[in-house]
Each structure stands twice: as C-alpha cells, then as structure tokens.
C-alpha cells in the first residue's frame, strides 16, 4: 500500500488533466478554425446586442408576449458587459461555455474519466452528428447537461435514506434549465424512465424536485404562469400547424433511427454477454430506458433523440466502459496512462479536424450590412418589414444588423408569425417557392419593406425590383404602381 500511495495521488489527477486538456484544446481548435454556428446561436447574440424585445424585432402574433430563453439572454448580456459587444466573441463564449459544461462535467463524476473520453470517441466516429450538436452554442445543451446530472443522481437518491443534497442539486439544475432553455415540459422523459424502471420512490422524489425547480425557474422570468403556458403553446403549435413534415424545421422532423449509433449500444451489450457478465439490470434501469425512450420518440422529432436519448446512452456507454476498465486495467497500472493519452489524442483529432469544411463552411460568406452604403438601400427602411422564406436570412441579417430599425416577418420559428403571414409562408413551402405564391406578400409591401431571398439566380417574382446585394442574396423592393393592401390589413 505504501508503494501505491504516490500512484494514487498522481495517476488519477494526471489522467483527469489529460482528459480535460484534450477536450478544451479540441474546442479551442474548432473555434480557431473560425467556426461560427449557423442558426439560433446567432439570434441569441443579436438579441442581446440589439437591446430590444422580440415584439420590437419580429412581426409577431399576440399569443407570444415573453422571451423563451430569458436566462440565456441574461447571461449573454452580463458576459457582453465584460468582454464587450463583439458578436464573434459572444458566439465563441456561447459555443465554448455550453459545450464544455456538457463534456467536462462527467470527467469529475466517473471514477475513470477516460471512460467518458472513450464513449465520446465512439460516438464521434460512428455518429458524429450527435456530438456536432454540442458545438451549436444554443441553450438546449443545458438540457443535455441536465440529462447527465439526472443519470448521475438517480442511484444516489435511491441508495440514500434522506438524499437532501442530491434533490437540492436536481431542483437547482431544473430551475436553471427552465430559465435558460425553456423546455421544462420535457422533464417528463426522465421521470417517465424512472417509472418504467419501477423506481417509484426515486420517481416521486425527483418529480417533486423537477416541479419545484421548474416553478422557481419560471418565477425568475417575472411572469411564471404566462411563461409556462407560452412554452407549452409554442411546442404544440410548432409541431401541429403543418400539412407535411417537411414544413417543419429539421430538428422537429423525424430521424432515420440513427442505426450507426445503435451499433455502439449493441456492441456494448454483446461485449457484456461475451464476458459472461450479462444481467437484466444493465438495461432495466432509468438511464438505459431514457436512452431507448428518446430513441423511440426520435421518430416523432429528432430532438427527443439528440437532446435526451443520446446523452443518456452516452452516459450508459461510459458506465459499461468503466466496468471493463476497472476489471481489466487496475487503477494504478501504468498502462492506464498510455490508454488515457492515446484515447484523448485520437478524440482531439476526431473532433478538431475540418472534414467536409464542417468548421469553416461559413467563412467568407457575405451578408447585407446597413453600415455599407451600397447595401443600405436594399435593406428595409425605418419601421419597414423584412420578408423572407428562409430563417437563415433572419439569423444572418439580424446578427449583422442588430440595430436595424425594421421588423422580420419570419424569425426563428414560423409559429410566431401572425396567422395570415403563416398561411402565406406555409403556401410558399407547399409550392416549393413558386413565384406566384409570394404575391400576397408583394401586395402587402410598402416602399419601406424588402423581400430578401437566397437564390442562385434572380427571382422571377413580379412587382419587385431585384438586386443581388451580396452573392446569392437578392433583395426586392416594391416597384412604383404595384398594388398594395391597406396598412390596417397589413398589420391585422
């Protein structure tokens, strides 16, 4: 034991430090490529820089009166007060803070941090899309972090007579999750997993903690009941007001079953059986059941899998790997450090390489900016409206022009649009952008408004004068004499 003491003091800290460094350096290398997220991370940063409420940014239906992510915008605002109002720095903070929260925390929870590295490596190789979402810089990643906390806490709550500290932690995380990401109702998934695993006592305790935390998080918004109702209203209408699934944003569409990711899980089960260590508890537990539940619901919307099912399976895979490491590779075996170095290095290379320009694909893409004289006349005028059929137009133009004095018809979610505009937009989607389907918007437009589309060629929409402001970005302004609806009907 005397000989083991120095190893006990040095080997785990060394392994932990190597694991931490590999993940941190991978994230920094990705940002060093010039990586910029493509969707909601942009509008979160732009909203904070604009200093406006959504009612002043979007042409919005009356049912939506509150910010859906007040906590995240509060955090970004405080960070901007420290690092300044550079949108690139705020985007880097968004990506780095949320990704590291998810990937670093488990290193401190597992007895063998390298098991988490090996799990991430397996999914990076076989199902990179699930890992790629960790770099989106969006608050849903906090919900993924909450899954990890749930997976770690449930056994501790089960095994303790009075798990006050564990329940307090889960309550606090639930409050922060509701305040930051807003999707409080999806806590029904881990609670359901506890019920399906027949963990009745733990289910009751964690349900109470989740409910208490959710309400506290809603209280932080200042209007708890309105906030809770709006988030449910948003979810139901975002998934319900469509004719075909292709009208939904991609993450609300169903997935293909992620068969390659399932191979990772299947291999772990087969490996356990081959070692003669099969038992029912390896699958009859809330973590595995949550993974399976998220996978099954992925056929409804892929986010059930990517945000809830996959994190649970990643945790479960880590537990399986940890069992093997503890059985066949002693804690003080020098070969353990060799494994840590090799796995960390390969994971670093797997994450940070720019295969398919996944980290640099947005570099060099130019969008209209009101600060450029040649662009200004082709952006909406003061109190004007920007019409478009693509949310990428909103994300990019809003980020590049956070102080623009116009509103956007289509923002980050179609269901936020006024009912008449939503009908026009859905018809545009159904016709796959036929020129005549834009006619109702053209009739509503005034000389202050613009219709901005991303096209390889000049749009053939009549009644508008078109100009290619930046490559493939076309702006149309109303031609003199074009028929127009009244202002009352326009904003009805």
Same domain, 201 and 63: yes
Cα dihedral 336, 339, 345, 349 sign: negative
Nearest C-alpha neighbor of 138 from the set 97, 104, 194: 97
Q: Where are the beta strands (DSSP E) in 292-405?
A: 385-387
Q: How far apart are CA 130 and CA 256, in angstroms?
A: 13
Domain boundary among 297, 322, 357: 357
Residue-level pLDDT at 489: 44
Full-model pTM: 0.91
pLDDT at 236: 81
Question: Mean pLDDT by 10-residue block, N- to C-terminus, for the chain (492 residues)?
Answer: 57 92 97 93 97 96 93 97 94 97 96 96 93 95 97 95 95 97 93 96 97 96 93 81 69 84 91 88 95 94 93 96 91 88 97 94 90 95 96 96 96 93 94 94 96 96 95 92 51 38
Same domain membership, residue 446 and residue 420: yes
| Shared domain check, 465 and 432 | yes
Which tens digits make up the pLDDT trace of 203-215?
A: 999 999 999 999 9
Q: How far apart are CA 199 and CA 305, in angstroms?
A: 23
Domain-ending residue, one of 300, 331, 357: 357
The four Cα atoms 308, 311, 317, 320 give a dihedral, to 10 degrees, of: -80
> Domain range for residue 334?
4-357
How many separate domains does the chain show?
2
Say if residue 11 is in the same domain as residue 90: yes
* Whole-number Å distance between alpha carbons of 379 and 1: 73
Q: What is the pLDDT of residue 241?
A: 62
Same-domain pairing of 35 and 178:
yes
Determine whether 262 is exposed, middle or buried from the number of CB atoms within 10 Å of its CB (0-12, 13-18, 19+): middle
The token pair that represents 182 in the structure block: 């807003």
Q: Could you tell me which residues are beta bridge partners of residue 468?
A: 474
Q: Residue 367 domain-assigned? A: no
Given this model, what pLDDT does residue 484 score? 59
């Amino acid at each position: 034991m005397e000989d083991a003491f120095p190893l006990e003091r040095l080997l785990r800290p060394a392994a932990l430090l190597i694991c931490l460094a590999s993940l941190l350096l991978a994230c920094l290398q990705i940002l060093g490529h010039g990586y910029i997220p493509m969707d909601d991370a942009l509008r979160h940063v732009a909203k904070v820089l604009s200093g406006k409420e959504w009612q002043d940014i979007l042409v919005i239906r009356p049912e939506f009166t509150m910010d859906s992510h007040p906590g995240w915008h509060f955090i970004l605002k405080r960070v901007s007060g420290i690092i300044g109002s550079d949108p690139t720095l705020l985007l880097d903070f968004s990506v780095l803070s949320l990704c590291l929260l998810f990937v670093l925390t488990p290193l401190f929870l597992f007895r063998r941090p390298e098991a988490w590295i090996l799990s991430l490596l397996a999914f990076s190789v076989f199902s990179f899309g699930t890992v790629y979402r960790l770099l989106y810089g969006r608050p849903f990643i906090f919900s993924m972090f909450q899954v990890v906390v749930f997976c770690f806490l449930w056994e501790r709550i089960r095994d303790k007579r009075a798990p006050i500290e564990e329940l307090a932690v889960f309550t606090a995380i639930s409050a922060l999750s509701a305040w930051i990401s807003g999707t409080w109702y999806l806590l029904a998934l881990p609670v359901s997993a506890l019920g399906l695993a027949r963990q009745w006592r733990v289910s009751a305790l964690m349900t109470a903690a989740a409910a208490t935390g959710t309400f506290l998080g809603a209280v932080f918004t200042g209007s708890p009941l309105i906030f809770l109702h709006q988030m449910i209203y948003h979810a139901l209408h975002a998934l319900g007001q469509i004719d075909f699934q292709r009208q939904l944003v991609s993450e609300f569409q169903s997935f293909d079953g992620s068969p390659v990711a399932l191979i990772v899980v299947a291999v772990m089960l087969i490996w356990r059986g081959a070692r003669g260590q099969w038992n029912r508890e390896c699958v009859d537990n809330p973590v595995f059941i949550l993974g399976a539940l998220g996978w099954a619901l992925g056929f409804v919307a892929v986010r059930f899998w990517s945000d809830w099912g996959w994190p649970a399976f990643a945790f479960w895979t880590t537990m399986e790997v940890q069992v093997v490491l503890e059985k066949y590779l002693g804690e003080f075996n020098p070969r353990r450090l060799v494994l840590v170095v090799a796995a960390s290095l390969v994971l670093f290379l797997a994450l940070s390489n720019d295969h398919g320009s996944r980290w640099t694909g947005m570099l060099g893409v130019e969008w209209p900016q009101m600060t450029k004289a040649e662009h200004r006349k082709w952006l909406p005028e003061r109190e004007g409206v920007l019409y478009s059929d693509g949310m990428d137009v909103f994300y990019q133009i809003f980020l590049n022009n956070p102080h623009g004095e116009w509103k956007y018809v289509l923002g980050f979610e179609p269901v936020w649009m006024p009912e008449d505009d939503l009908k026009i937009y859905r018809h545009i989607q159904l016709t796959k952008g036929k020129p005549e389907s834009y006619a109702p918007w053209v009739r509503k437009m005034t000389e202050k408004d613009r219709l901005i589309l991303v096209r390889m060629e000049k749009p053939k929409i009549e009644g508008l004068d078109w100009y290619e402001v930046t490559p493939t970005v076309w702006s149309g302004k109303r031609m003199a004499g074009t028929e127009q609806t009244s202002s009352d009907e326009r904003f009805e």
